[in-house]
Amino acid sequence: MAADLSTPARQALIALMVSVERASNPDLRRNYRVEVTKGAREELEREKLISWEKGPRGAIFYELTDKGWRRARQEFRSAPPERVTGPWLLHYATLRHLDSLMERADYKIADVFAGPDPGPATAAGAAGEPSVEDRVRAAYLDLARTPGDWIRLVAIRARLTDVARSEQDRVLTEMDRRREIHLDPDPARNELPQDALDAAILIGGEAKHLITIGRA
């Protein structure tokens, strides 16, 4: 039987489900205008539905446990919490339609929420132009022989010459923070050519020259 959760706990559970990856309260407020309140955190933790850890600058990052994902799946069939506003009623109506589709197609929740929330379409995205994040991933996949290979950032930047260096750094830092990529110093940095040194990104005061995607 599903845990009887309060409305804030159910909303936090849904927010972490659609976020897919671990997220902090600033992330959830920015993307969904929802946060994991102290009471909701205690409820969800008591039911073993979330795990959390402290990140940079003391920020707390939350993610669903396996039990949390199973509980989130039950929300697709649940009545909305009492006294919620119209947008939440529409949200639960959408979940009911999605539930019907998943049942007919034998989809699991992992089939639907398989990657991080891409966010709303921008004007560029609507026109079919890939985002800088998409271009970083595409450049890596083109350069790497297998997922998890280490690639020098200088090679990635060479594919992004039309993007300002500051924007490249912002996107790379954000992707690294979300653990979509991993950046690392080159062990042979004393032997690197100048262009590879210049292409490094500073994170936490350390120069990172290498990027990988798909490494556990």
Looking at the predicted structure, is the pLDDT value of residue 21 above 90? Answer: no
pLDDT value for 4: 84
pTM across the whole model: 0.56
The CA-atom distances, in angstroms, between 170 and each of 142, 154, 163, 199 are: 22, 16, 11, 14
Instruction: Give per-residue pLDDT as tens, 61-83.
Output: 999 999 999 999 999 999 988 88
pLDDT tops 90 at residue 215: no
User: pLDDT tens digits for 152-210?
Assistant: 999 999 999 989 999 999 999 999 888 889 999 999 989 999 999 999 999 988 999 99
Burial class (CB in 10 A: 0-12, 13-18, 19+), 144: middle
- 93: Cβ–Cβ under 8 A, 6 or more apart, which residues? none
Question: Among candidates 101, 77, 4, which has minimal Cα distance to 47?
Answer: 4
Model pLDDT, residue 125? 47
Residue 6 has pLDDT above 80, yes or no: yes
Query: Over pLDDT 70: what percentage of the chain?
Result: 93
Q: What residue spans define the domains of the chain?
A: 7-112, 124-212
pLDDT tens for each residue of 96-115: 999 999 999 888 998 888 87
**Which of 18-22, 44-48, 145-149 shows the lowest per-residue confidence on average (mean pLDDT)?**
145-149
Mean pLDDT calculated for residue range 3-20: 90
Higher pLDDT, 146 or 143: 143
Q: How far, in Å, CA of 44 to CA of 52, rounded?
A: 11
Query: Average pLDDT, whole number, for the chain?
Result: 87
193 Cβ neighbours under 8 A, 6+ residues apart: none
pLDDT at 184: 94
CATH code at 7-112: 1.10.10.10
* Amino acid in position 62: Y
Does pLDDT of 27 surpass 50?
yes
pLDDT for 2 equals 53
Q: What are φ and ψ of residue 125, in 5° steps?
A: -65, -40
